[in-house]
Amino acid sequence: MINPKLYNLIFEVKFNIATFYNINRIRKKVIDNLRYSAGRTDILDIACGNSALIKKIPPRKGLYITALDMSEENLNISKINVCKDKKIGFIKANFPHINFKDKKFDNVIFSFFLHETNLTKIKESIELSKRLLKKDGRLIIADYSKTKFKALSLFYGLYFKMFEKHADEFINLDLTRYVKERGLKLLKEEKILFNSFRILVFTKTARQ
């Protein structure tokens, strides 16, 4: 296994370059929008990577986190990174090709995951997330968006061609409408760095 400190350094450098040092700001906004239940709260983090986001979630009574990633190496690093005062289950799987009990989670997080997939998988992922959410549960999406700021648009156009083959298709998708058409209600949208990134928070209502 790669040295964990080196792995974390590479991971953070990559995301800081890709987000112009906004990655921790984005993680904080994701965490600020989590919904907690009075008793047990279940969070599913899809494509958790090295669990840098999970590491920043404050521990609390009744909190259970499921960290899912298709990379065994990511999960091994995650197990080293996260605090021992949180109850975390690690699962190696390729979302959405996984079986979970319906209405299991209070929060489902897609943090820089959807832009790595094609439109078919985005649709499947959102539909499965809706099924997995409890009543009033939240789907939180943090990812790239289409900026009108020319210099940033040029940078990300080149970056996507080099490193993110599905990202250009993703940012041209009307993601808010796409998710709402699949039955989730938009609670909040936050834009970062001239709309280069968005935090979208959706909820599942009682009728769903």
What's the CATH architecture for 4-93+103-203?
A: 3-Layer(aba) Sandwich (3.40)
- 81 membership: H or E segment, kind and range: helix 72-81
Amino acid 1: pLDDT? 67
Please tell me the distance from the alpha carbon of residue 194 to that of residue 208, in angstroms, as a whole number.
Answer: 34
Pair 201, 30: CB distance under 8 Å: no
Q: pLDDT tens digit string along 153-207?
A: 999 999 999 999 999 999 999 999 999 999 999 999 999 999 999 999 999 986 6
Q: Which residues of 75-101 are buried (b: 16+ CB within 10 A; e: fewer)?
A: bbbbeebbeeebebebeeeebbeeebe
pLDDT at position 208: 60
pLDDT at residue number 85? 78
pLDDT of residue 206: 67
**Segment-wise mean pLDDT, segments of 10 residues, the chain, 208 residues:** 89 95 96 96 97 95 97 95 90 93 97 96 96 97 96 96 95 95 96 97 83
pTM: 0.96
Domain extents in the chain: 4-93+103-203
pLDDT at 205: 85
* CA–CA distance, 147 with 86 (Å, rounded to integer): 37
